[in-house]
Amino acid sequence: MQKTVRDYIRTIVDFPKEGILFRDVTTLFADARGFRMAIDQLLHPYAGMRIDKVAGLEARGFILGGAVAHQLSTGFVPIRKKGKLPGRTIAQEYALEYGEAVMEVHDDALEPGQKVLLVDDLLATGGTAEAGIRLIERLGAEVVGCAFVVDLPDLGGRRRLEGLGMAVHTLCAFAGH
């Protein structure tokens, strides 16, 4: 039987706190076939589209986004937690279950009119992805798609991003949190 991307993802019970089923993609990254499969499937819907940059959300989105950017022969833009980028940045606050957080991007990372693919490992509530979208749009670029390995549909992230008019592509889904 042929393996799917989902088969390479390990579930860790009660991490980071009791009652959570953590979907660990490091096991996917560690397997050459699994990792290649994930990258190929992430970029497949965008073949032939104009994509000027791939933006990855900290931190696992850097691994995936960098590989996708390489395959698309385009540049990569990191969207990081506050205080991690060395140059001038713009910031976007967003809500978490337990408070607020801030994402940043260099203020010169994108040019107006550029087409950007946003990449991350997991789509849960969509808050981090929405912050990334807002940053990209504030620089005048256009998000042409949002690609994730894992969707947690019970948490509503896909609905949230689609409500913003985003095209969302995921490779697999897991029920629950």
Catalytic residues, by residue number, are 60, 97
DSSP string, the chain: ----GGGG-EEEET-SSTT-EEEETHHHHHSHHHHHHHHHHHHGGGTTS---EEEEETTHHHHHHHHHHHHHT-EEEEEEETT--SS-EEEEEEEETTEEEEEEEETTSS-TT-EEEEEEEEESSSHHHHHHHHHHHHTT-EEEEEEEEEE-GGG-HHHHHHHTT--EEEEEE-S--
CB 42 within 8 A of CB 5: no
CA dist 118 and 113 (Å) reads 15
CA dist 105 and 91 (Å) reads 7
